Amino acid sequence: LNVRGHEFITSRATLRAEPDSMLAKWFDEDSPFGEPTRDQQGRIFIDRDPETFAIVSDWLSRGCRLIGIPLTAVQVVRLREDAAFYGLDGLAAQLCKYRGVFNGAMFPIEQALEAGFTHTELFKMGVPISQIRDETPTTLADLMIPGVRLDNLRSLQGVRDEDLVGVY
C-alpha cells in the first residue's frame, strides 16, 4: 500500500480483520467500491495520514487490540477520525477507553468533538470536566454524566447554585 507516500506491506486478511468495516469492504474481492486507485508502482494508494494508518495497521494485526501504543491526545483525536473514516467501530470504541494523556492543558477538545467523541466519552477518558466545560460551548445538561458529582459542577466557572436546582 502507498499511504500518502509511505509504503505499507500487509496482508489482505489483516486489512479485513474487522469484517464489517469499510476498510474490509475496500479489500473484499467483490468490493462494492470497484478497483482501488493505484500509484505508478501498482501499489494501492490511500490518501490518509500515514502516522495514524500505521497505528490502524498495528491494531488490525494484533487482533483488533490497542496494545502498548503510547498515544498523545492529538494522536487519539486523529486516530478517532480515521477510525470513523475506515469504519473501524471496534477501534473507535477502544479509543473511548484510552486514558492517561488527557490531563494537560492542551487537550484539543473542539477537535475531539469534531472527530466524533462525545462530552461523556471525554469525561470517562479522564479529560477534566472543567476543561470540557471551559473550552466548549456546553450546557449543564451536557455535563450530567454518571459519576460527575455536584461539587464538580459547582466548582466550574460561571455555575451558580440556582443553575443546579433540581439536579441530584
DSSP state of 154: H
Torsion of CA 7, 10, 11, 17, to 10 degrees: -120
pLDDT of residue 96: 84
The rounded average pLDDT for each run of 10 residues, N- to C-terminus, in the chain (168 residues) is: 97 96 93 92 96 96 88 88 96 83 65 83 74 61 62 65 58
Inter-residue contact 106 to 138 (CB < 8 Å): no
